[in-house]
Amino acid sequence: MRLRAWIWLIAIAAAAAGGIWAVMKWKNQPPEVQFARVARATIHSSVPTNGKIEPIEWAVARAERSGPVKEILVQRGQSVSRNAPLVQLDSAEAQASLASAQARIAQARADLGVIDRGGRSTDLADISSGLERAHLDLDTAQKEYDALKRLQSKQSATMIEVNAAQLRVDQARLQIQALEGKRKALGASADRASAQARLEEAQAAASLAEAQIRQSVVRAPLDGTVYQFDVKPGAYLNAGDAVAYIGRLDRVRVNVYVDEPDLGRVAKGMPVEITWDARPGQKWDGEVDRTPTQIVALGARQVGEVVCIIRNPERELLPGTNVNVEIRAQTVPDALSIPKEAIRNEHGETGVFALAGDHLEWKKVRQGVANTTHSQVDGLKDGEAVALYSDKPLHDGMPVKPVFP
Asked if 45 contacts 367 with a C-beta cutoff of 8 angstroms, the reply is no
Does residue 126 sit in the same domain as residue 269? no
Residue 335 located in a structural domain = no
The pLDDT of residue 84 is 95
Domain boundary among 304, 328, 352: 328
The pLDDT of residue 363 is 94
Does residue 165 sit in the same domain as residue 206? yes
Residue 190 located in a structural domain = yes
Residue 37 CA neighbour count, 13 Å, CB half = 7
The pLDDT of residue 382 is 93
Does residue 136 sit in the same domain as residue 207? yes
Does residue 256 sit in the same domain as residue 229? no
**CB proximity list for 210: less than 8 A, separation 6 or greater:** 98
The pLDDT of residue 189 is 45
Which structural domain, as residue segments, surrounds residue 133? 96-211
Does residue 169 sit in the same domain as residue 183? yes
Does residue 199 sit in the same domain as residue 128? yes
Residue 391 located in a structural domain = no
Does residue 302 sit in the same domain as residue 236? no
Task: Report the candidate in 341, 332, 342, 339 with the shortest Cα–Cα distance to residue 368.
Answer: 332
Residue 38 located in a structural domain = no
Does residue 269 sit in the same domain as residue 299? yes
Does residue 203 sit in the same domain as residue 236? no
- Can you list the pairs that 96-105 forms with residues at least 24 positions away whose Cβ atoms lie under 8 Å? 97/205, 97/208, 97/209, 97/212, 98/206, 98/209, 98/210, 98/213, 100/205, 101/202, 101/203, 101/205, 101/206, 101/209, 102/202, 102/206, 104/198, 104/201, 104/202, 104/205, 105/199, 105/202, 105/203, 105/206
pLDDT in tens, the chain (405 residues): 555 665 666 767 666 655 554 445 445 688 899 999 999 998 877 888 899 999 999 999 999 989 999 999 999 889 999 999 999 999 888 888 888 889 888 888 887 777 666 555 556 667 777 778 878 888 888 888 888 788 878 777 788 777 887 888 888 788 878 777 776 665 554 467 788 888 889 899 889 989 888 989 999 999 999 999 989 999 999 999 999 999 999 999 999 999 988 888 899 999 999 999 999 989 999 999 999 989 999 888 899 999 999 999 998 898 989 999 999 888 888 999 999 999 999 888 999 999 999 999 999 999 988 877 889 999 999 999 999 988 889 999 999 999 987
pTM tops 0.75, yes or no: no
Does residue 223 sit in the same domain as residue 259? no
Task: Report the candidate in 310, 370, 338, 357 with the shortest Cα–Cα distance to residue 56.
Answer: 310
The CATH number of residue 67's host domain is 2.40.50.100
Domain boundary among 284, 304, 328: 328
Residue 110 located in a structural domain = yes
The CATH number of residue 301's host domain is 2.40.30.170
Does residue 170 sit in the same domain as residue 114? yes
Domain boundary among 211, 230, 262: 211
Residue 201 located in a structural domain = yes
- Count of domains in the chain? 3
Residue 402 located in a structural domain = no
Residue 266 located in a structural domain = yes
Q: Do the strands 401-403 and 32-37 form a parallel or antiparallel pair, or are they unpaired?
A: parallel
Does residue 283 sit in the same domain as residue 316? yes
